[in-house]
Amino acid sequence: MNLRLQSIRVTRSRRVVLDIPDLTLPLKGVTAVVGPNGAGKSTLFRVIAGLERPAAGSAGIDDVAPYRRPEVAMAFQRAPFLQGSVRANFELALALRRVPRADRQARIARAAGLLGVGHLLDRDPRSLSGGESQRVNVARALAVPADVVLLDEPFAGLDGPSARELLGLLPGAFAEAGVPVMLVTHLPGEALRLANRAVVLLAGRLAAAGPLPDLFRAPPTREVATLAGFTLIPNGNEVVAVSETGLVQGQGGVSFVMRVETVHDLGFHLEAHGTVNGVPAAARLTAAAAPGDEIAVFAREGRFVRFAGQA
């Protein structure tokens, strides 16, 4: 069973904000929709959920002919809660999806257990912390029967500890729930920890789609490499895109000279920040270095991609 996006085009004030000619996504596992702010990620979710009608095109499930509109459960960036307890908000969502009353409590208990919020079910949602509110928000989406669960920026607005707690809970929750999930993020690290495939949007257009981590291990374009956190270094008639931890002090197959500006102690190793061929870069140090030094650095094997043409 697949989700098919065909000739999707969304415009606002005569400006195209989303343009996807054709995309097929298998409805299994976790798909991350990745892109910078303004790339069209949330707009894509709204189209899939039927909350926004595109100027052209359609989204459908291909298990019948003609394609049917997908049944979705969606967790927004900011959880919308109505008056009543957390449990009452769960029950309303299930009632709207016509889940029999006899089945609702079991669904609520299971989903709440997956996100560790069972003890919050009788609380007023307005009394919850930001982290608690978002875990309840995701649990409610997982409780609702759906073809796919859509999570729009589930870590938005969370502090470090709350985000790490949610990030630790989600892989197990997704596996136990057994429902396809699509999540929006602008951070490749979140995508790599949670998803097995990615859709990359840039300026409202499809830049790449494929399995993770392959897509971010060998980005197909410079733009995708930049989004994945690679440093693009001009090198003669090519550009070498080096992953976030790919530069190391010393000599290797693809070598450069770094002019050191600062040195940072990261606890387990030292890291130099400076410029390589005029580009800001960071490299792991293996020997002493100080600001003003020029040191040899190289791109580690398997941590870089070459692109033809000058920067």
Q: How many CB atoms within 10 Å of residue 137?
A: 25
**Alpha-carbon span 198 to 208, nearest angstrom:** 8
Q: Tokens in use for 222?
A: 């410079």
Which of the four CATH numbers 3.40.50.1860, 2.60.40.420, 2.60.120.200, 3.40.50.300 does domain 2-217 have? 3.40.50.300
Question: Is residue 210 within a helix (H) or strand (E), and if so which, with residue range?
Answer: strand 205-211
Asked if residues 259 and 274 have their Cβ atoms less than 8 Å apart, the reply is yes
213 has a pLDDT exceeding 90: no
87 has a pLDDT exceeding 80: yes
Q: Tokens in use for 242?
A: 């080096």
Query: Can you say whether the dihedral through the CA atoms of 241, 245, 249, 251 is positive or negative?
Result: negative
Question: What's the whole-number mean pLDDT along residues 268-275?
Answer: 94
* Confidence (pLDDT) at 311: 63
* Confidence (pLDDT) at 291: 95
Residue 12: phi and psi, rounded to 5, are -140, 125
Residue 303 to residues 215, 238, 254, 259, 289, Cα–Cα distance (Å): 13, 16, 11, 21, 23
Question: What's the whole-number mean pLDDT along residues 145-151?
Answer: 94
151 has a pLDDT exceeding 90: yes
Angle between helices 101-114 and 86-96 (to 10 degrees): 120
Residue 66: which pLDDT band, with cuts at 50, 70 and 90?
A: confident
The pTM is what? 0.86
- Strand 72-75 to strand 148-152: parallel, antiparallel, or no bridges (unpaired)? parallel
**Alpha-carbon span 155 to 134, nearest angstrom:** 8
Give start-end residues of each CATH 3.40.50.300 domain in the chain.
2-217
* Confidence (pLDDT) at 250: 94
Question: What's the whole-number mean pLDDT along residues 215-222?
Answer: 90
Residue 181: which pLDDT band, with cuts at 50, 70 and 90?
A: very high
